Structure 1
Amino acid sequence: MDWNEWHDEYDRPGSGLARRLVAVQERVSAALDAAPAGPLRVISMCAGQGRDLVPVLAEHPRRDDVRARLVELDPANCDLARSAAAAAGLGQVEVVKGDASLTDEYADLAPADLVLACGIFGNLSDDDVRRTIGFFPQLCAEGGTVVWTRHREEPDLVPRIRTWFEENGFALEWVSPPQAGYGVGAHRFTGRPRPLAAGESMFRFLGYDELRRVEGAREHP
């Protein structure tokens, strides 16, 4: 998978990714609107080119309150995210080339007021989706928001994702309807953050082809 080329779908008007991006950006803006006064911390996991956050932050009245870290493995996407942040004058947005699954990437920024987990759950096994959600009480501040995405293809995992968030102390703020053709959700953390475990891997990013093989093996042992 060419993850740089994959982003081209965002620029095709009416595409599923373009519509999903609008929904994600709306949730990001709403979370910033609702955040308490004062400094804010934002984490973006598998951040790609920064499209989920940078364009919103560039126009938002809370922009100067935010310190953000975008973690992305693809170097070309990192360069594009850095360029976008610089062009918007967002000097407090840091782009890190690294493995977004590792807790150590967030050690000095967690717990954050906003955590973005977009483009991740559709590339993980079900067990790793659940495991990753189990780490969000360590990444998210009390009252903070997690914005996430997941496709709605069968078997639709979104209802179980909602349950796993609830089991970890999160309340549903918003979820896209099934007929939207994409899955976007926002959950608010109602518990107290736990210390971030050092040296942990939250998930193994499989990609579409390997994920299909894993799911096929499960269905046909």
Structure 2
Amino acid sequence: MDWSSWHDDYDRPGTPLARRLADVQGHVRTALSEAPPGPLRVISLCAGQGRDLIEALADHPRRTDVHARLVELDPRNTAVATAAVESLGLSGIEVVTGDASLTDQYAGLVPADLVLACGIFGNISDRDVERTISLSPQFCKPGTVLIWTRHREAPDLAPAICGWFESAGFERLYLSPADAGYGVGVHRYAGAGERLVPGVSLFTFGSARS
């Protein structure tokens, strides 16, 4: 998979990816608007070109409150994200070229107010999806919003994903309809949070559909 050209469908109106992006960005804006006053911490795993967050912040009234770290392995994508951050003057966003599966990447910026796990769950094994969810409280505090994506085609893992999140202390806020052509889920953490454990790998990124 060419993970740079993969983003091209974002710019083709009506495609499932374009509609998914709009859905995710809407929930990002809502999460930021509803967060308590003050600085906001955001992390994005496998951030790609960062469009989920960067474009949502472009004209958001809380754009200067956000301190974010976007982690992405493909340097072509991080170059695009960095250029977008600079053009919009989003000085609080850090773009990192690195392995997003490693917990070390998020040290110093967790617990976060918003966690983005978009484009991951369709590209890793079901076992790794469950493992990543079970470890995600390390990124959270009470009230943290976590947004994730995965296709809803057979086998539709979304119901199981929601169950795994709920077992890990999250409550479901939203799940896109099964016939939407894409999958977006939003959960809020209701647990006490856990200490970030360095040196842990959450998943092995594969080649399945996202």
Which residues in structure 2 correspond to 1:135-214 (within 5 Å)?
Answer: 135-208=135-208
**Structure with greater Cα Rg:** 1
Question: Per-residue displacement from partner, 1:172-217 (whole Å, max 9, x unpaired)?
Answer: 11110111011001000011110011100000001128x9xxxxxx
Question: Per-residue displacement from partner, 1:6-27 (whole Å, max 9, x unpaired)?
Answer: 1101111110100000000011
Would you identify which runs of 4 or more consecutive aligned residues in structure 1 move more than 4 Å? Answer: none
Question: Per-residue displacement from partner, 1:62-102 (whole Å, max 9, x unpaired)?
Answer: 11111000000000100000000111110110000000000
Post-superposition offset of 1:141: 2.1
Question: Per-residue displacement from partner, 1:112-135 (whole Å, max 9, x unpaired)?
Answer: 000000000000110000000011
Q: Which residue does the alignment assign to 2:29?
A: 29
Between the aligned partners of 2:93 and 2:141, the Cα distance in structure 1 is: 19
1:81 partner amino acid: A
Q: Which residue does the alignment assign to 2:73?
A: 73
Between the aligned partners of 2:192 and 2:42, the Cα distance in structure 1 is: 17
Q: Which residue does the alignment assign to 1:49?
A: 49
Q: Calculate percent identity across the aligned residue pairs.
A: 61
Between the aligned partners of 2:159 and 2:135, the Cα distance in structure 1 is: 19
Q: Which residue does the alignment assign to 1:108?
A: 108
Q: Does 1:130 align with 2:149?
A: no
1:77 partner amino acid: N
Between the aligned partners of 2:59 and 2:133, the Cα distance in structure 1 is: 30
Q: Which consecutive unaligned segments of at least 5 residues does structure 2 have?
A: none
Post-superposition offset of 1:107: 1.0
Q: Does 1:10 align with 2:1?
A: no
TM-score, normalised relative to structure 2: 0.98
- How many aligned residue pairs are there? 210
Q: Which consecutive unaligned segments of at least 5 residues does structure 1 have?
A: 212-221
1:8 partner amino acid: D
Between the aligned partners of 2:34 and 2:18, the Cα distance in structure 1 is: 25
Q: Which residue does the alignment assign to 1:219?
A: none
Between the aligned partners of 1:137 and 1:192, the Cα distance in structure 2 is: 8
